[in-house]
Structure 1
């Protein structure tokens, strides 16, 4: 059957593997560079009673109270999760796109749909890693919020074992529902990124300069993050696992109700802007990280294809 041969060639193609490895390496490098900003963002989201509102103030507080390396707490599990997550996302995105387009010109709607599909696969596969890394990143932190229970995980595997034993296997997928809504974040990001790339290369098909890639990567991520930020806050709170779980039979309904209640109570407590608490730290970290990640991704992929004597596999 020719179709199944074409399909498997798309799924196991060398190009998709190069894109996946380039995306994973680019994101891990970028995240390492801007990691302290992510630590600040997570504290602002989870520790509601903290007075420090700005990124430099919260980082200064964390270093003063918890030591110089505290902003890098939880780096290893985050990097493991990010590496797996971006490998899965870039691989799925490029496989689905090459199978769908079969060499035709892409459009923004295609990029969005492919981005959503790749995001759903990514969420279902990698959520347990992100739950564990949120817990490890916050372990040992000095919280202002007194209700937060301290945890004692020895590492990634021990966290998996303890969460499964004490909270059940389902707890590893805490925050999956907001995460599924949040597939719009990378989908919007990729749609804007690919669209801007197409615009810049409209006149002459060419490789973009480093500055162009950095700027369009930053714009794409800034728009996607601002649009989806309130849900990202709820996702962090759910992954942290300190909320008493609902006794409702239907997991989906209780998850949706929890998301709604968390959004409303946060808005009541801190005003509508409370839903965007930590956005400044998130934007600073995520925009710089995404811009550097796209730059490294494009350059690594381009060099790899060139070294193998292939033209860079431009989809857009």
Structure 2
């Protein structure tokens, strides 16, 4: 059975730990790509001397090179601590709850391949629940990633992740930690459905092809398919989420969407698309490969 629910049952706590570990490992490996993606998404058109916009960041390698040159190589891992905190909560909950929610939707006596619409609904629900809990960690991660090189003598907004949490609460109120919750829930519920349901489905389809087995190759192909599908579906809400979290001048999700659309056009919502796919594709492959091996370690079948 290709579903993410293991054939040999493991407990929710074990599945949570497997998912959290896999998500954190993938986060560490791909964070430089995510930092570059956030910078590209937050970048707005700037007028040069000839009136033509001259973007500071261009493309995957260009953005990463500029960040490393101006701020040091370690700047590519900005937001690592809240990023790992986010993945522990969000990654652990969204994947850990996915199997139980699927089982609840179809009934514990159900036998056979779970219908795809049940997989999608289960992933939507677990993605929304998980990010509602983890939103503060996501906010701090984006705020830290968004801060570029500052002029001499200008202090940074936050000295680190812990300082960022306290500063945001002190200056903006406790509720500010859930800034961007609307687009974040929309984005993560949609992307979670795209990732988990599509990985589930791709894996199931691949295993029906003669010669394919439940092994690393199948996991890589299913992970790449899940990553591409997730980026196609989630890029617009991802851009809005990053902008709302990185820039407090937007009044609402709708305000951010309309202002971006008016000033930069529709394709602004797909800024850094290939970078985002590179990041999410790599993230999905690493995460699902690690998750499958962790499940085997705990006694579950892949």
Q: What band does the TM-score fall into relative to the shorter chain?
A: 0.7 to 0.9
User: For the residues of structure 1 that align with 2:270 and 2:118, how far apart are their CA atoms?
Assistant: 30
Segments of structure 2 that go 5 or more residues without pairing to the other structure are: 1-8, 47-54
Q: 1:150 to 1:89 in 2, by over 3 A?
A: farther
Q: TM-score, normalised by structure 2?
A: 0.84
Pick from 76, 96, 104 the counterpart of residue 81 of structure 2: 76
Name the CA distance, whole Å, in 2 between partners of 1:270 and 1:298. Answer: 41
Cα distance 1:203–1:15, how it changes in 2: closer, same or farther (>3 A)? farther
Change (3 A) 1:150 1:45: farther
Structure 1 stretch 259-268 or stretch 58-67: which is displaced more?
259-268
| 1:18 CA displacement | 2.5
Structure 1 position 142, deviation (Å): 2.5
Whether the 8 Å contact between 2:26 and 2:287 is mirrored in structure 1 is: yes
| Structure 1 segments unaligned to the other structure (5+ residues) | 1-12, 247-257, 306-310
**Of the candidates 280, 290, 294, which is equivalent to residue 296 of structure 1?**
290
Q: Name the CA distance, whole Å, in 1 between partners of 2:100 and 2:155.
A: 42
Alignment partners' CA distance in 2, 1:150 and 1:192: 44
- Which residue pairs with 2:49 in the alignment? none
- Following superposition, the deviation at residue 117 of structure 1 comes to 1.0
Mapped contact 1:174–1:241 kept (Cα < 8 A):
no
Return the match for 2:281 from 284, 287, 297. 287
Q: Deviation of residue 195 (structure 1)? A: 1.1
Taking the TM superposition and a 5 Å limit, the aligned residue runs for 1:1-316 are 14-48=10-44, 49=46, 50-101=55-106, 102=108, 103-105=110-112, 106-139=114-147, 141-142=148-149, 151-182=156-187, 183-202=189-208, 208-243=214-249, 246=251, 258-305=252-299, 312=301
Aligned CA RMSD, in angstroms, stands at: 2.4
- After the TM superposition, which segments of 4 or more aligned residues of structure 1 sit over 4 Å from their partners? none
State the alpha-carbon separation in 2 of the partners of residues 203 and 39 from structure 1.
38
* Cα displacement (A) at 1:44: 0.4
**Cα distance in 2, alignment partners of residues 36 and 63 from structure 1:** 10
User: Structure 2 CA distance, aligned partners of 1:97 and 1:243?
Assistant: 40
Q: Is the alpha carbon distance of 1:104 and 1:243 closer, same or farther for their aligned partners in structure 2, counting shifts above 3 Å?
A: farther
Contact 2:207 2:218 in 1 (8 A): no
CA offset digits 1:198-240 (Å, max 9, x no partner):
2233479x96120111111111121121222011011011112
Measure, in 1, the Cα distance between the counterparts of 2:127 and 2:288: 17
CA pair 143-207 structure 1, distance change in 2 beyond 3 A = farther
Q: CA deviation at 1:184?
A: 1.2
Partner of residue 4, structure 1: none
- State whether residues 194 and 233 of structure 2, in contact with CA within 8 Å, keep that contact through their aligned partners in structure 1: no
Q: Name the count of aligned residue pairs.
A: 279
Is residue 239–residue 269 contact of structure 2 (8 Å, CA) maintained in 1? yes
Alpha-carbon distance in structure 2 between the residues aligned to 1:51 and 1:268:
21
Q: Shift in Å at residue 55 of structure 1?
A: 0.8
Superposed CA offset, 1:140-187 (max 9, x none): x1279xxxx975323333222211111111111111111121211111
Distance 2:213 2:98 in 1: 20
